[in-house]
Amino acid sequence: MRRPRTASTRRAAILITAAASCGLLLAGCAVGTGAANQDADYDAKADLGGDLSVMGFSGVDEVATSRVEVAKAELGDVDVKLIEGELDLQQFLASVASGKPPSLLYADRDQIGSLAARKAIIPLDECIDGEGIDMDEFRDYAVDQVTLDGKVYGIPEFNQVQVTMANADLLAAAGVTIDQVNGSDREAMTDANRKLAKVDGGNVSVIGVDSKLPEFLPLWVAGAGGSLLSDDGKTAQLDSQEAVDALTWAAGIYEDQGGFSAVKAFRDSADFFGEGNQFATNTLGAMPMEQWYINVLNDVSPDAPMAFDTVRGTDGQPIAFATGSAWAIPSGSDNPEAACRWARAMTSMDAWSAAAEARLAAREEEGKPFTGILTGNEVADEEIRGMVTSGGEPWDSAVAAMYDANDNAVSQPANPADAEFKDAMQEAVNSVLNGQATPEDALAKAQKTAQQALDDGWAEIEDAK
């Protein structure tokens, strides 16, 4: 077997591509040095000025714009420029390599580890102390996702967790309860899937259960008490028994409906964000889904026959696999003090209160319930939860499940090879879904690839000390 490319070679390939405009290799261009930030003076009482360019964030709704107003007021005379568009990591790395990065970066928390290992972003210890950011207010699992080698590299923002969502009419017609599709009893969920699904000649007309592979494998592994990565972020556990069992079972959900390709084709044809979504049209029995979809469903199909619960582990307890966003300061930022102030302000109680009030007002104007916002900050979450308004059933149950999931979530710790790790996992799952490998063989291969990437990444960190 040909030895897979290591994390170092993959990382170099990405960064060399990104830094092509400056014509330099990894060591000379693509890795940040942080030198421009060494003289930063973080002080919550200081008056700030200059420019602040923000990459990866756009104020597109009332939750964003209300917090931007709070942050701009905190920054005083700073001229804020939001760079339009989604975050392009290669573009960002190229800007770091060229010595002209944005002042501030908004990224997914699972990107922070690799960016920190590449020295594309800087540690925030001095920023946190200077601006007085209380990291104890943030959920531990959110902080773990932005902490590499003992240093915090990001300020957590929004949080995403999964909730079990189901069509109550389809469940009742099949003689199935929500407890049988929430993951607590996998054998019962397999049986429920077979009762709910409608497949004729390989054509799916009703998806019984969608186990949401490949992206939700970490959730199902966590549901069995396992984890795909050790707590210190150094040891891959992709070939653990919990992972093999979870993938075997979750892939079997699709096999019982004619295979993943048949289910995916039917799923992709749905009007996911519209009134013709799968629940409203009675073409999906149940699935785990991020909590923001509750609001989508309530908006576009408030009369859909829904039922909600947390996702539950095999021990019957609520479980979720948390993801989310974070603020980070690029290496070479031209205004790290303003960047830190913005990160603090955007995740402050004042900002979240303003966001909740703005969303509440918008929902009341539409005659709809306010279903809450998950922030990654425990104090903010509790305050916002107190502002939630009743939408009656099943929406009140949905909100309760959302907050229950948020309180019982786990995450994957930051590591220097997060992209390579995720790629290895998804490649393994896809090879199983496509019938190219058994779960055991696919995950064993992924384990070797991911572990090599982790070893290389951590070795680079140690070498740099």
Picking from 265, 264, 223, the residue whose alpha carbon sits closest to that of residue 245 is: 223
Backbone angles phi, psi at 54, to 5 degrees: -120, 120
pLDDT of residue 218: 98
Six-digit token pair at 449? 């690839």
pLDDT of residue 31: 53
pLDDT of residue 212: 98
Picking from 188, 181, 177, 116, the residue whose alpha carbon sits closest to that of residue 145 is: 116
104-108 and 79-83 beta bridge pairing: unpaired
Q: Residue 452 and residue 458: Cα distance in Å, rounded?
A: 10
Residues paired with residue 326 on neighbouring β-strands, in sequence order: 107, 156
Q: Is the pLDDT score of 82 beyond 60? A: yes
Picking from 309, 260, 270, 345, the residue whose alpha carbon sits closest to that of residue 69 is: 345
Q: Is the pLDDT score of 34 beyond 70? A: no
pLDDT of residue 16: 33
pLDDT of residue 51: 97
Q: Residue 106 and residue 400: Cα distance in Å, rounded?
A: 29
For tokens 């790290």, the residue is: 336
Residues paired with residue 289 on neighbouring β-strands, in sequence order: 163
**In whole numbers, what is the pLDDT of the chain averaged over residues?**
91
∠ at Cα 304 (268, 262), nearest 5°?
25
Q: Is the pLDDT score of 21 beyond 60? A: no
DSSP 434: T
Confidence of residue 159 (pLDDT cuts 50, 70, 90): very high
Residue type at 299? Answer: D
Q: Is the pLDDT score of 28 beyond 50? A: no
147-148 and 151-152 beta bridge pairing: antiparallel
Confidence of residue 273 (pLDDT cuts 50, 70, 90): very high
Q: Residue 283 and residue 281: Cα distance in Å, rounded?
A: 6
Q: Do the Cβ atoms of 328 and 153 come closer than 8 Å?
A: yes
The 10s digit of each residue's pLDDT in 213-239 is: 999 999 999 999 999 999 999 999 999
DSSP 29: I
The separation between the first and the last C-alpha atoms of the chain, rounded to the nearest angstrom, is 34
The 10s digit of each residue's pLDDT in 306-354 is: 999 999 999 999 999 999 999 999 999 999 999 999 999 999 999 999 9
318-321 and 79-83 beta bridge pairing: unpaired
For tokens 């058994």, the residue is: 438
The 10s digit of each residue's pLDDT in 236-265 is: 999 999 999 999 999 999 999 999 999 999
Please give the domain boundaries of the chain with CATH numbers for all domains.
13-157+325-362 (3.40.190.10), 162-321+416-458 (3.40.190.10)
pLDDT of residue 39: 77
The average pLDDT across 34-61 equals 84
DSSP for 36-61, please give it. GGTT----TT----SEEEEES----S
Q: Is the pLDDT score of 84 beyond 60? A: yes
Please, what sign has the CA dihedral across residues 29, 30, 33, 34?
positive
The average pLDDT across 199-215 equals 95
Q: Do the Cβ atoms of 354 and 57 come closer than 8 Å?
A: no
pLDDT of residue 465: 78
pLDDT of residue 36: 43
Q: Is the pLDDT score of 6 beyond 80? A: no
pLDDT of residue 202: 86
The average pLDDT across 51-61 equals 90
% of residues, the chain, pLDDT over 70: 92
The 10s digit of each residue's pLDDT in 437-454 is: 999 999 999 999 999 999
Q: Do the Cβ atoms of 65 and 150 come closer than 8 Å?
A: no
